[in-house]
Structure 1
Amino acid sequence: MSVICNNGGFKYVVKCFICTIGLVVLYICIEVFVTDGNGPILESISSMKFYGQAEKPKIAIIVVTHRDGTGQYSLALDSIKCYCQARGYEFILIFNDRNEKCGQRDITFQHFFRRHCHVANEIANSTINYFLFIDADIGVVNPKRKIEEFIDPKFDMIYYNRFYNQEITAGSYIAKNTNWTIKYLRDYANYETKLPRGDHGKDNGGLHAYIAEVLFPKRPIEIASCWMVYNQSRNHNDLFTFEACIQTLLGIDEDISGRIKIFKKGTGWCRDSWLTNSLWNSTTDFMIHGWKNSRMINYTEKELPLTIRERDRGRWYNPYAGPLDLSKCTPGNDTWNFDPNIQTTVERIREKLDKYYAQFEMDKINRLSRLSWYFQKKTEPPKKT
């Protein structure tokens, strides 16, 4: 991506952009810390608006993974299969090494971008109305929840903001079967050729740049300001700062255009397991991310703590009391056998997530305050030697 402008105009735009960011930071401070006196309030999944339709839509859950990698995600995949059978959804498993019509080079980034091409092709050849795409390590803990609760027929693509950083989640989205969606996903799959060098975040970092271009084609200078950070990204700190910059362009509303909807933190259909050390509650949770069999461990404590050390965030506990018997996953059967020790009260979950919410929003403020450093670094004249 390249944007051409004169130096004087660019410096003026940068100043205006920084002022705009200052106003956004002020709003975030009010949003995070001015509440009812009980701290930040998160909306639970169960309180979400139900987007009902006159006719029940046909829905599928789609997973794209490597043929030899399904064993790593067997428990997560079985939970999705069981859930689909119980709810009447179609389950689609695509192996990413199937390359027909999906020729993204993916030499560096493995399967990440190509999987969105597979999703687009599946949509193009299907009569299903909506597809919930998920990472292979996402499983179901609350089969009573319905995907329809998150479908808004006004939008073609539905995302959610990841809880613990500034990311829009690339590993799960709801795609409506429209020609616009098919083109959108195919163009996204080819976006890897536009990524900068350094720590670009693969398809997750690329998603932010791509969405900004799709939604704001008449705002090239504002997008270029964020790309100035992206082009200098050398680590996750830089990457998350770039993503925070894009978030300021997207604004604070979930409905940011007539095509794309992004659920705010804590209101999507999935969250990371480590946020509450694998503990969950049916009021706040639906799907959980991070179920890799190789990282599953057994617990020894009678009462598990909600906090986990950063180095242990990849580990998780099995929420089920026994193996999933797919033959019993009959239509309407949503009474699964869960381990009661992995469940906790809604109050504990909300208290923990509320603390994280304030922490991560403050992190966003800190990152936005660093943007001027990237502009100065880019525009300052070379030092004389």
Structure 2
Amino acid sequence: MSLSCYFRNCVQMSTIFNNANLKSGSRHCYILLLIFVVIYIFIGVLWYKRDSLVMQSISSIALYGQSEKPLNIAIVVITNDGGTKGYSYAIDTVKCYCKIQGYDFVLAGNVQNSSCNHSDHYFRRHCHVANILVTGKYDYLLFIDADIGVVNPNRRIEEFIDPKFDIEFYDRFVNQEIMMGSYIVKNSDWSINFLRNFANYQYRLPIGKGLQHGTDNGGIHAYIAEILYEKTRHIELTNCKKIYNQSRSWTDLFVFESCIRDMMGVNTDFGHILIFKKGEGWARDNWLTNNMINLNRDFMIHAWKDKQLTKYGKDLPLKIGYKHRARWFNPLVGRIDLAKCNPKNTSWNYNPNLITTKEVIDAELERMYAAIEMEKIDRLSKMMEFIRRVDSKSR
């Protein structure tokens, strides 16, 4: 019964009751009417809130690419010969993950050809990624080093995609580097030009006997800084490059990278570029937590080279220190059976000795972060030594 109909019936009943000198009946009728109005308003508010929440959910989903048309996403791994030798454990997990989640897996050879003729194979990789984008087959690519493996097949790449940005990186945890071994890139003209121009940065690296430029690891910092600050903060950028141009060790290179990251500050949004903070990206180094993982926190793990896989026979794994950080324990029991990889089979077998709580992982990373921040301060304090050295030679 509608509210108006109920009101008319109450009025009619009130008239009858009044004619019968039953005034109490009239009062009861109006009390019932008041209760009905309150309930009607309450239900209306709940219905509005429900619709509002639904619309918010739809807006949120559409914002991150989960619209009616699913995104075409591929994971790209580039090896020297297009094979899996030396990285079979890591690559098998990625292949299985792609089958489970419905992504394409692209394993390409890092061949030197007329399109990508770079002599430095690290830079050449990014030229090949640009060429995959040009095919137009994919909306997004997740490029990863061959030694990055998946530990949680239930996570989705879309969790990290923000359509506002053309390319997304994450911070290496152990130093001030932007991780160049993995990024999420959108298929756009800007992204393609960014990758091609970066590949060509090989020809602009510091030249000199014994210099350590770090190939693409070092080059990405100079390249991004030029895009962001060439016109607006030229003096600061020049000072950082003075360090880069005389870098003779990884220690020197880290000073240069710290200089650039100091310019960039704590920001994560750089227009077309997003850089996830330490510990917030899709992958991290395995040794940071002695190969311990948490499935609610971790997605991908970096540094799984076949020849450095370490086995142990005790109940708990041996401690892998910084000196031996290339070694790793496999959190999975046995090899991945690719024939069984499908969307209905997401339960992998894990070594219980290598599974821990999120709180343990966070505490270990927090401890590591504090030590790395102190190293950053030490590196920044060495900047003047490099700058004075260059300035004294130019006089």
TM over 0.5: yes
Partner of 1:117: 127
CA contact (8 A) 2:286 2:301 kept: yes
Tell me whether 1:323 sits opposite 2:300 in the alignment. Answer: no
Matched residue type, 1:190: N
Provide, for residues 332-383 of structure 1, a one-character-per-residue CA deviation record: whole Å limited to 9, x for no partner. 4321111212212222211111100111111111111221111222223699
Pick from 264, 269, 273: which aligns with 1:250? 264
Tell me whether 1:269 sits opposite 2:279 in the alignment. Answer: no
Tell me whether 1:141 sits opposite 2:155 in the alignment. Answer: no
> Equivalent residues in 2 for 1:55-204 (5 A)?
55=68, 56-67=70-81, 70-97=84-111, 99-106=113-120, 111-197=121-207, 198-204=211-217
Matched residue type, 1:335: S
Whole-Å Cα distance in 2 between the matches of residues 350 and 117 of structure 1?
A: 36
Partner of 2:55: none
Partner of 1:215: 228
Matched residue type, 1:312: H
Whole-Å Cα distance in 2 between the matches of residues 77 and 179 of structure 1?
A: 29
Q: Secondary structure at the match of 1:185?
A: helix
Structure 1 gap ranges (5+): 1-48
CA contact (8 A) 2:101 2:343 kept: yes
| Deviation, structure 1 residue 242 | 0.4
Sequence identity, in percent? 51
Structure 2 gap ranges (5+): 1-59
| Deviation, structure 1 residue 97 | 2.2
Whole-Å Cα distance in 1 between the matches of residues 228 and 173 of structure 2?
A: 23
Report the TM-score when normalising by structure 2.
0.80
**1:331/1:382 Cα in 2 relative to 1: closer, same or farther (>3 Å)?**
closer
| Deviation, structure 1 residue 93 | 0.6
| Deviation, structure 1 residue 312 | 1.2
Whole-Å Cα distance in 2 between the matches of residues 269 and 315 of structure 1?
A: 21
CA contact (8 A) 2:152 2:300 kept: yes
| Deviation, structure 1 residue 244 | 0.6
Whole-Å Cα distance in 1 between the matches of residues 296 and 243 of structure 2?
A: 39
Partner of 1:292: 305
Partner of 2:372: 360
**Larger RCO of the pair (alpha carbons < 8 Å, separation 6+):** 1
Partner of 1:240: 254
CA contact (8 A) 2:268 2:277 kept: yes
Whole-Å Cα distance in 2 between the matches of residues 228 and 213 of structure 1?
A: 14
Partner of 2:385: 373
Q: Secondary structure at the match of 1:380?
A: helix
CA contact (8 A) 1:87 1:332 kept: no
Whole-Å Cα distance in 2 between the matches of residues 189 and 209 of structure 1?
A: 13
Whole-Å Cα distance in 2 between the matches of residues 337 and 185 of structure 1?
A: 38
Instruction: State how many pairs are aligned.
Output: 329
CA contact (8 A) 1:132 1:175 kept: yes
Report the TM-score when normalising by structure 1.
0.82
Q: Secondary structure at the match of 2:86?
A: helix
**1:381/1:64 Cα in 2 relative to 1: closer, same or farther (>3 Å)?**
closer
The structure that is helix-richer by fraction is 2
Partner of 1:14: none
| Deviation, structure 1 residue 98 | 5.5
Whole-Å Cα distance in 2 between the matches of residues 381 and 331 of structure 1?
A: 63
Matched residue type, 2:389: K
CA contact (8 A) 2:177 2:217 kept: yes
Partner of 1:338: 350
